[in-house]
Amino acid sequence: MKIILHISRQSGPDDKAKMVRYEMPDVDEHWSFLEMLDVLNERLIEKGEDPVTFDHDCREGICGSCGFVINGLAHGRQYAPEGRTTVCQLHMHRFSDGDELYLEPWRAKAFPVVKDLMVDRSAFDRVIQKGGYISVSTGNAPDGNAIPVPKDISDEAMNAAECIGCGACVASCKNASAMLFVSAKISHLGVLPQGQPERDKRAQAMVAQMDDEGFGNCTNQYECEAVCPKGISVNFISRMNADYRNSINKK
């Protein structure tokens, strides 16, 4: 089938982006979206042109490396009605012959464009560095069953830990808020017994770093949850806000 691509091309953060049109006349419905871009890049290289830059790694919907906006929605969410799909797991049988697709990078102040569809998401790394760990000294590695964890608590922690840090939540929010990501990272440690000693410190430090990075505030419109490839719940944002408020009130 024939697919027409309009791709945002930008040589660097200081360059002005422009949409460039490419025709793919022989797309196989069994290709993944990124495989289609691979074929496009091979053809561009053969012609001596600059290939399209985009993030990717495992291509199994696990690592969170890939991600860009397809026709206005992160990961092309509208083409996966069942939800929970990363762009690398989006396959071309979802599209129709003659479709025109507009590809753009995550657009956020905290995610500067590196080139084309690739952005710098190191702001997420700096948020995690502020509290995404447990630093209480335990001596030797403790036995895994030394601290009993109720199943409902472990399930809640695992639900939060599913976040892969792809940044779709930021890209989908009109304020470029990172609250879904940050709340997931705060919650997956904060609900466990092992994470309680640093619970207050963690909430304060990670929220402060989130603000310093230039992410916006949440306005409770739930776009982030709708496009999240792992289905992270906005309920974690409520938990984060409660932890942050309680930590401030204890001062």
Q: Under a CB-based contact definition with an 8 Å cutoff, are residues 102 and 19 in contact?
A: yes
- Write the pLDDT tens digit of every residue in 31-68: 999 999 999 999 999 999 999 999 999 999 999 999 99
- CB within 8 Å of 178: residues ≥ 6 apart: 110, 123, 124, 127, 169, 170, 210, 213, 215
Q: Which residue has the tokens 């985009």?
A: 54
Q: Which of 5, 202, 183 is CA-nearest to residue 104?
A: 5
Q: Using CB atoms within 10 A of its CB, is residue 128 exposed (0-12), middle (13-18) or buried (19+)?
A: middle
Rounded-to-integer distance, Cα 185 and Cα 164, Å: 10
In this prediction the pTM is 0.93
- Interatomic CA distance for residues 110 and 94, integer angstroms: 31
Structure letter (DSSP) for residue 32: B
138 pLDDT above the threshold of 80? no
pLDDT tens profile 223-249: 999 999 999 999 999 999 999 998 888
d(CA 188, CA 182): 10
Asked whether 218 and 183 are in contact (CB, 8 A), the reply is no
Domains of the chain as residue ranges with CATH = 3-104 (3.10.20.30), 122-139+146-249 (1.10.1060.10)
CB 15 within 8 A of CB 9: no
pLDDT digits (tens, 9 = 90+) for 164-208: 999 999 999 999 999 999 999 999 999 999 888 899 999 999 999
For 70, the 3-state DSSP assignment is strand
